[in-house]
């Protein structure tokens, strides 16, 4: 089993990442930490509480309760940018989730990440699917924890694509300085960017079919994915729900789900025009050492097999 900490800003696709991580037998979900991004810190935290309540609070692979810790409400330097145009005013519009009965740990996300890494007897994979503020703060506060990190598999960035400005992807744009700290950490980083996640679609027919399952999980996930798919169609002309964040978890479960190239990737932090751009040196013209495995191809069928399998597993478990 692979031990992971999922740092997220739920967010419809973050919800799918949590559901996949909590229900797949390959993953030991050591904790969920939240960060401001898709919505304010208060809203992403509340959404995480509701999602963990919906799925029964426990990691299926271990039977253990999944700890939840709340993180940063603002980026390191920039004012917060949220995305109601994609995720709605709650950050998880499209269906009513159960009233939460999951409470946060006493410690915050940064201290939870530091404590969990320090106390672990094996290296842990960090899976950030929101702005990288918590991860960067943990590295700044306790640099030695890097020795306990196996790898960082993050959803963010893009080589050819963008969504928040013509130059940048949302997670990197919101906190570019945090992203630079993570990309320059010297740790193995895999970038699951828009080049592959915008192809990793739950199409409208797949969503309608899932709604028809009418299980305890699928009857809520379906309408949420329908809302998310419509928002992506309205904003980007994408014909379905690009389940960005779940692809990062899928990569941890089955690395063959994406094909990567080892490239130098630097983050634009100086220019306002291209703020947050993940500049990938495809042709090695800079002479800078590669530092990131950049996902450029995706096996969408394998991804959907894992993702839909997770929802079916939760439908069975929650019956
Ligand atoms: O650009 C897509 C990413 O930004 C996803 O992680 C989505 O949840 C938002 O956080
Ligand atoms: Ca996210």
Q: Can 87 be counted among the known catalytic residues?
A: no
At 5 the pLDDT is 98
Q: Locate the ligand 1 atom nearest the alpha carbon of residue 87 and give its number.
A: 8
Mode of pairing for the β-strands spanning 292-298 and 258-263? antiparallel
Task: Identify the CATH assignment for 2-317 out of 3.40.50.620, 3.90.245.10, 3.60.20.10, 3.10.450.240.
Answer: 3.90.245.10
**What is the pLDDT at residue 23?**
98
The atom of ligand 1 lying closest to the CA of 13 is 8
Question: What pTM does this model have?
Answer: 0.98
**Candidates 10, 11, 43: which one to mutate for ligand 1, based on the most atoms within 8 Å of Cβ?**
11
What is the full per-residue pLDDT of the chain (319 aa) written as tens digits?
Answer: 999 999 999 999 999 999 999 999 999 999 999 999 999 999 999 999 999 999 999 999 999 999 999 999 999 999 999 999 999 999 999 999 999 999 888 899 999 999 999 999 999 999 999 999 999 999 999 999 999 999 999 999 999 999 999 999 999 999 999 999 999 999 999 999 999 999 999 999 999 999 999 999 999 999 999 999 999 999 999 999 999 999 999 999 999 999 999 999 999 999 999 999 999 999 999 999 999 999 999 999 999 999 999 999 999 999 9
At 108-167, the pLDDT tens digits run 999 999 999 999 999 999 999 999 999 999 999 999 999 999 999 999 999 999 999 999
């Amino acid at each position: 089993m692979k031990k992971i900490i999922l740092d997220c800003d739920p967010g419809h696709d973050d919800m799918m990442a949590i559901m996949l991580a909590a229900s797949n037998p390959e993953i030991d979900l050591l904790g969920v930490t939240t960060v401001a991004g898709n919505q304010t810190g208060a809203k992403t935290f509340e959404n995480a509480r509701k999602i963990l309540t919906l799925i029964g609070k426990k990691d299926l692979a271990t039977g253990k309760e999944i700890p939840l810790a709340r993180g940063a409400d603002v980026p390191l330097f920039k004012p917060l940018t949220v995305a109601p145009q994609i995720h709605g005013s709650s950050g998880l519009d499209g269906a009513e989730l159960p009233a939460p009965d999951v409470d946060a740990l006493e410690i915050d996300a940064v201290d939870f990440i530091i404590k969990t890494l320090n106390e672990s007897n094996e290296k842990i994979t960090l899976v950030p699917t929101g702005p990288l503020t918590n991860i960067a703060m943990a590295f700044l506060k306790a640099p030695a924890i890097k020795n306990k990190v196996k790898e960082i598999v993050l959803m963010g960035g893009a080589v050819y694509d963008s969504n928040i400005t013509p130059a940048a992807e949302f997670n990197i744009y919101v906190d570019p300085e945090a992203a630079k700290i993570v990309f320059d950490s010297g740790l193995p980083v895999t970038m699951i960017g828009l080049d592959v996640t915008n192809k990793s679609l739950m199409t409208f027919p797949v969503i309608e079919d899932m709604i028809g399952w009418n299980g305890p999980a699928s009857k809520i996930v379906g309408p949420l994915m329908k809302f998310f798919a419509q928002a992506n169609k309205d904003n980007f002309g994408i014909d379905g729900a690009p389940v960005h964040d779940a692809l990062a978890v899928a990569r941890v479960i089955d690395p063959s789900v994406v094909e990567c190239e080892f490239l130098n990737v630097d983050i634009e932090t100086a220019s306002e025009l291209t703020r947050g751009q993940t500049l990938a040196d495809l042709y090695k013209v800079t002479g800078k050492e590669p530092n990131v495995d950049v996902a450029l191809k995706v096996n969408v069928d394998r991804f959907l097999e894992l993702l839909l399998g997770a929802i079916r597993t939760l439908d069975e478990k929650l019956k």
